[in-house]
Structure 1
């Protein structure tokens, strides 16, 4: 895996499980890491752990549904760590219920966080990547985008939109030497999954059902996603763009 020394990596939703694991891996590879999260305390905890381990990191409060907050956070990040070399769009949110039991206000929030927020981040970071003729973007979607998922209709639609958007941006900016790829997690042991499980009539039964559905025999861990993200961001993937990789223990095997 490439060394990310002197590269500035921006990660959204970096205070959570997958975001934190990705940030830690980039820091271990000598990247300068910027953590963006709505939860100020969570972001600062992850940044502090990186710094304590000898890495370079800073955390900034940022709601990705607000372009004003994004610009403010990125300005502060650039002032401390330079231009953005790698963007990892990881922030996400879900509500687990059948579509007919959801309401338009649920759809609006799902779309704002899972799709519009990522569009904001691309729009904020791409100009500097284009000007420098270099950049890596890794978008974290979901296997729900590839095969659907009962109880996650709007979430799946948002993530499918993110996949299609990523492929289009990959085409538009290949001439600028910018790559755009997608990592699709399956069920992963995060706070989001816990909230889904705890909302079930029988949480342990649902968790066991998730586990039994995965050929490799366990629910994913945040650390399982980090390697895939780092690969797409690395020089090893310099000739890879517009691609989608599932990290799901074999739950889905989409072509």
Structure 2
């Protein structure tokens, strides 16, 4: 367990991708700090499972990120995963939704990173992993705020990589396509009804239309990649944007 003695903070880690990453890092010995919303009983069960603390701060506000980082203490591994989405044409895009998406998907990652970096630099080791998206590389209609935030997150990752290049701290993006999570699975019945499609049609013609492999990315695959990025073998991987999208951005 090569991460024994390391503290890992994963934002948005009470479900989905973030939870898979927290579990993967814990399996390699890291002390895990959970962050995110959910039912109290579910969070209590996760705290017990992972031997973790949980901080339920609102990361869409700078004060919430500061609360999270103060509660977490010095962290060796920071995974900026928390995010939200809204779909609408630009001219109709609610400005409050724009502000929320930029704040949570981009600004929170900046604030968490700036607060984590001093400790990482002082000890000469650290890993910053930003969960971007295929939308950090390509665009889709009606997702202006999300695409802007994810492109920004990719740029932030590169900038931090250059600034930290001689410090022993790496900064990278993981950019998945569609991932099989409860959030995605729960969208299927409504899409079946709205489009008059079968489950198989929704999966292949809607959700996986852009992914040539016609397979969902699995959360555990992203967790394994996060663990690899924390290894010595990945010490020279920094400033990278690692696509895990079934070939989506290869086209």
TM over 0.5: yes
Q: Does the Cα contact within 8 Å between 1:197 and 1:206 map onto a contact in 2?
A: yes
Would the alpha carbon gap of residues 150 and 194 (structure 1) be closer, same or farther in structure 2, given more than 3 Å must change?
Answer: farther
2:141 corresponds to: 150
1:170 corresponds to: 161
Matched, 1:228 2:198: no
Q: Does the Cα contact within 8 Å between 2:69 and 2:112 map onto a contact in 1?
A: no
Deviation at 1:188, TM superposition (A): 1.0
Matched, 1:74 2:89: no
Deviation at 1:237, TM superposition (A): 0.7
Q: CA RMSD in A?
A: 2.1
Under a length normalisation based on structure 2, what TM-score does the superposition of the two structures give? 0.88
Deviation at 1:134, TM superposition (A): 1.9
Matched, 1:17 2:8: no
Map Cα deviations across residues 99-132 of structure 1 (whole Å, 9 max, x no partner).
3332212211111111111111112211221222
Map Cα deviations across residues 187-214 of structure 1 (whole Å, 9 max, x no partner).
1122443566566423744433223542
**In 1, Cα distance between the equivalents of 2:233 and 2:108?**
28
Give the SS at the match of 2:3: coil
1:33 corresponds to: 32
Q: Does the Cα contact within 8 Å between 1:96 and 1:196 map onto a contact in 2?
A: no
**In 2, Cα distance between the equivalents of 1:40 and 1:170?**
36
Give the SS at the match of 2:217: coil
| Runs of 4+ with deviation above 4 angstroms | 194-200
Give the SS at the match of 2:159: helix
Structure 2: gaps (5+ residues): none
1:54 corresponds to: none
Structure 1: gaps (5+ residues): 52-56
